[in-house]
């Protein structure tokens, strides 16, 4: 069930109350049952089977790996464990994509291969817990962690409901000890958790879903636009995906905090990054750490003899995998490839850039910082075109038509879109005010420590955020419905 649904608003307090009132020994089972129920609420029965399969396989391989005597056996087991998990992921997520491309390839080669269409499976959450499973096995192989013997805690580690569908991707060493820690009611965690949840909900339903209305208008019919509307829709998408994903993460972190579980912070103002490498230190942090530790570093080690070229190749390979992980389409692959290319290039030019800044004496100037943020944001937004476009043709059209000579014609199109109907104009107003609230919160975050403020101030903030979220959540039916008009 999505976090922004009524079912979840009832599910979470019920789970918490049951969790709170049962004995300490039974608490893990309450959370596990709740997590399985949460997954079952998607109404896709085979997903539970997949989760069980990944859990049993990984648990077994983990124990065997730890008990393995020789390094040859260990190697066989680690590749076996990774192989089984990857196979499950490929079957669930990539078979239709592979089959489609095989068909295209056979047509190109004039082969008469009869490739049957493959059923598309729903694979919600599978990428996340499979990656968690792989990291668990690799950590045991590298002797960083010991296997978890208690099957219940291990199952809960994979299935914990706040992070089950969209992460963060947690390391076993971070999460399992927290799951085992004795629970004691913590007022600050409860308060912070609920506020974080509400803030995440605000970002998702008021801002992200509303930005989506504009983005969808353009990206679902790109051929009808050129120039400024395409550019603004691309920027809007950059913020939509950030608000959507970080909003979801805030809700996940907030939910987990009620149970005194601290999940990994997944975002740290990514659009303030001064380089693409910096961007990946701030965006989807749990995922970027995963690909850094389990793909990039091993490849870089393997290709160390190629020096910078080896590092560049490792970066490109890593981010191609990242693109594929995000989705089974060439758009995602190109998106990942672009990021890999950005970072690969920086391996070569970075030393010279640093030297140049030093010689010019501008390395500490604020304007340079602003310029770097601007460039990085545009590079990232450019890559988002391939991520969002409905097809490669659409993506290439957008890229070719982002900048046109007729900026005023484009301006008129944008004004029409934003104000052409009462619905558009009121959405634009609500969006501007809401983005202003986000900006204010970001600027004042360190100066105004909310929980140290007087009660009237704190309650005022709680009220404002809750009421604003309730009254101004975007509704796609708002395109067709005014209750009063």
Partner 1 sequence: MKVFSAKLILLFLSIEMLLRVWSSLVPCWYRQAVHDVRTDPVTYIFIGSSRVASSIIPTEFTQAMGEANSPDRTINMGMGYSTLVEHFFGLRRIAAAMPDGLKGVTVFLEAPEGIPDMAIWRGDWSFRKNPYLLVNTIGLSDLRSFWARDSSKFDLKLTVTAGTLSEAIANQGNGRILVVDIMRKIKARIRTWTTQKKTDLSTSGGIRADEAGIQNARRLAVSLAANEMKYARIIKRQSADETVLKSINDLVNTEGGRLILYQMPLNSVQKQVYTTAIFRENRVIAHDLLKTWAIPILSPNMETNDDDFPDYWHLRKSRSSEFTRSLAQAYIDTLMVSGKETSDRE
Which residues are the active-site residues? 326
Q: Outline where 284-365 has alpha helix (H).
A: 285-291, 297-302, 308-326, 330-360
407 counts as binding partner 1 under rule CB under 8 A? no
- The set of residues, in sequence order, having a beta carbon less than 8 Å from that of 223 and lying 6+ positions away, is 397
The token duo for 45 is: 């029965």
CA–CA dist 151, 249 (Å, integer): 27
424 counts as binding partner 1 under rule CB under 8 A? yes
- The set of residues, in sequence order, having a beta carbon less than 8 Å from that of 468 and lying 6+ positions away, is 202, 206, 434, 437
CA–CA dist 133, 147 (Å, integer): 12
Nearer to partner 1, 308 or 419 (CB): 419
192 counts as binding partner 1 under rule CB under 8 A? no
User: 318 in helix, strand or coil?
Assistant: helix
Of 460, 482, 472, the C-alpha closest to 429 is: 472
Pick the binder of partner 1 from 6, 109, 367, 432 (CB under 8 A). Answer: 6
Pick the binder of partner 1 from 124, 194, 379, 438 (CB under 8 A). Answer: 194
417 counts as binding partner 1 under rule CB under 8 A? yes
Q: From the CB of 421, what's the least distance to partner 1, in Å?
A: 4
DSSP 55: H
Q: Outline where 361-421 has alpha helix (H).
A: 366-388, 392-401, 407-419
471 counts as binding partner 1 under rule CB under 8 A? yes
CA–CA dist 305, 402 (Å, integer): 41
Nearer to partner 1, 56 or 470 (CB): 470
Q: From the CB of 207, what's the least distance to partner 1, in Å?
A: 14
Count the residues of the shown chain that bind partner 1, applying the rule CB under 8 A. Answer: 48
481 counts as binding partner 1 under rule CB under 8 A? yes
Window of 243-251, 339-347, 399-407, 421-429 that interacts with partner 1 by CB under 8 A: 421-429
Task: Determine the Cα angle at 131 with ends 96 and 324, to 5°.
Answer: 40
> One symbol per residue from 217 to 236: x for binding partner 1 (CB under 8 A), - otherwise; what is it?
x-------------------
484 counts as binding partner 1 under rule CB under 8 A? yes
Cis peptide before 168 (omega within 30 of 0): yes
426 counts as binding partner 1 under rule CB under 8 A? yes
Pick the binder of partner 1 from 362, 416, 440, 445 (CB under 8 A). Answer: 416
The DSSP string of 369-383 is: HHHHHHHHHHHHHHH
408 counts as binding partner 1 under rule CB under 8 A? no
**Residues 32-91 close enough to bind partner 1 by CB under 8 A:** none
CA–CA dist 192, 255 (Å, integer): 10
CA–CA dist 160, 169 (Å, integer): 11
- Please say whether the beta carbons of 462 and 234 come within 8 A: no
Q: From the CB of 44, what's the least distance to partner 1, in Å?
A: 15
Task: Determine the Cα angle at 404 with ends 398 and 408, to 5°.
Answer: 120
Nearer to partner 1, 360 or 481 (CB): 481
**In what helix (H) or strand (E) does residue 64 lie, and over which residues does it extend?**
helix 45-67
Window of 89-97, 147-155, 357-365, 462-470 that interacts with partner 1 by CB under 8 A: 462-470
Nearer to partner 1, 66 or 462 (CB): 462
- Please say whether the beta carbons of 252 and 162 come within 8 A: yes
485 counts as binding partner 1 under rule CB under 8 A? yes
Q: From the CB of 228, what's the least distance to partner 1, in Å?
A: 14
Q: From the CB of 414, what's the least distance to partner 1, in Å?
A: 10
CB count in 10 Å sphere of residue 5 = 11
419 counts as binding partner 1 under rule CB under 8 A? yes
406 counts as binding partner 1 under rule CB under 8 A? no
User: 265 in helix, strand or coil?
Assistant: coil
482 counts as binding partner 1 under rule CB under 8 A? yes
Q: From the CB of 436, what's the least distance to partner 1, in Å?
A: 15
457 counts as binding partner 1 under rule CB under 8 A? no
Q: From the CB of 478, what's the least distance to partner 1, in Å?
A: 6
> One symbol per residue from 308 to 327: x for binding partner 1 (CB under 8 A), - otherwise; what is it?
--------------------
- Residues near partner 1 (CB under 8 A) are 5-7, 10, 20, 185, 187, 190-191, 194, 217, 412, 415-417, 419-427, 429-430, 459, 462-463, 466-468, 470-485
């Amino acid at each position: 069930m999505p976090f922004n649904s009524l079912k979840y608003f009832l599910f979470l307090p019920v789970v918490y109350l049951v969790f709170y009132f049962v004995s300490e020994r039974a608490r893990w089972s309450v959370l596990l049952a709740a997590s399985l129920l949460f997954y079952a609420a998607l109404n896709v029965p085979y997903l539970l089977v997949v989760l069980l399969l990944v859990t049993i396989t990984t648990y077994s391989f983990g124990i065997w790996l730890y008990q393995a005597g020789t390094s040859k056996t260990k190697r066989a087991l680690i590749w076996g464990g990774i192989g089984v998990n990857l196979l499950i992921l490929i079957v669930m997520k990539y078979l239709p994509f592979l089959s489609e491309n095989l068909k295209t390839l056979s047509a190109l080669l004039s082969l008469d291969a009869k490739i049957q269409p493959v059923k598309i499976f729903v694979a919600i959450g599978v990428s996340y817990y499979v990656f968690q499973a792989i990291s668990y096995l690799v950590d045991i192989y590298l002797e960083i962690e010991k296997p978890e013997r208690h099957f219940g805690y291990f199952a809960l580690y994979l299935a914990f409901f706040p992070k089950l569908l969209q992460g963060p991707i947690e390391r076993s060493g971070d999460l399992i000890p927290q799951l085992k820690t004795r629970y004691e009611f913590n007022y600050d965690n409860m308060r912070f958790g609920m506020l974080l949840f509400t803030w995440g909900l605000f970002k998702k339903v008021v801002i992200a879903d509303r930005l989506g209305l504009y983005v969808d208008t353009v990206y679902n019919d790109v051929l009808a636009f050129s120039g400024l509307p395409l550019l603004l829709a691309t920027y809007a998408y950059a913020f939509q995906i950030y608000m959507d994903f970080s909003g979801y993460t805030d809700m996940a972190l907030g939910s987990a905090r009620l149970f005194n579980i601290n999940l990994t912070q997944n975002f740290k103002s990514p659009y303030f990054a001064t380089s693409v490498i910096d961007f990946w230190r701030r965006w989807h942090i749990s995922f970027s750490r995963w690909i850094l530790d389990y793909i990039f570093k091993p490849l870089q080690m393997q290709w160390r003899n190629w020096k910078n070229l080896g590092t560049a190749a490792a970066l490109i390979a890593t981010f191609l995998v990242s693109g594929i992980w995000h989705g089974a389409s060439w758009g995602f692959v190109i998106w990942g490839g672009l990021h890999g290319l950005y970072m690969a290039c920086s391996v070569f030019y970075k030393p010279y850039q640093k030297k140049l800044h030093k010689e010019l004496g501008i390395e500490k100037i604020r304007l340079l910082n602003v310029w770097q943020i601007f460039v990085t944001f545009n590079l990232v937004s450019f890559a988002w075109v391939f991520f969002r476009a409905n097809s490669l043709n659409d993506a290439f059209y957008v890229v070719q038509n982002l900048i046109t000579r007729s900026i005023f014609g484009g301006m008129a199109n944008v004004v029409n879109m934003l104000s052409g109907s009462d619905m558009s104009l009121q959405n634009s107003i609500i969006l501007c005010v809401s983005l202003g609230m986000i900006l204010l919160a970001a600027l004042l975050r360190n100066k105004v420590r909310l929980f140290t403020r007087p009660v009237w101030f704190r309650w005022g903030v709680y009220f404002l955020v809750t009421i604003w979220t309730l009254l101004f959540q975007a509704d796609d039916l708002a395109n067709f419905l005014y209750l009063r008009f």
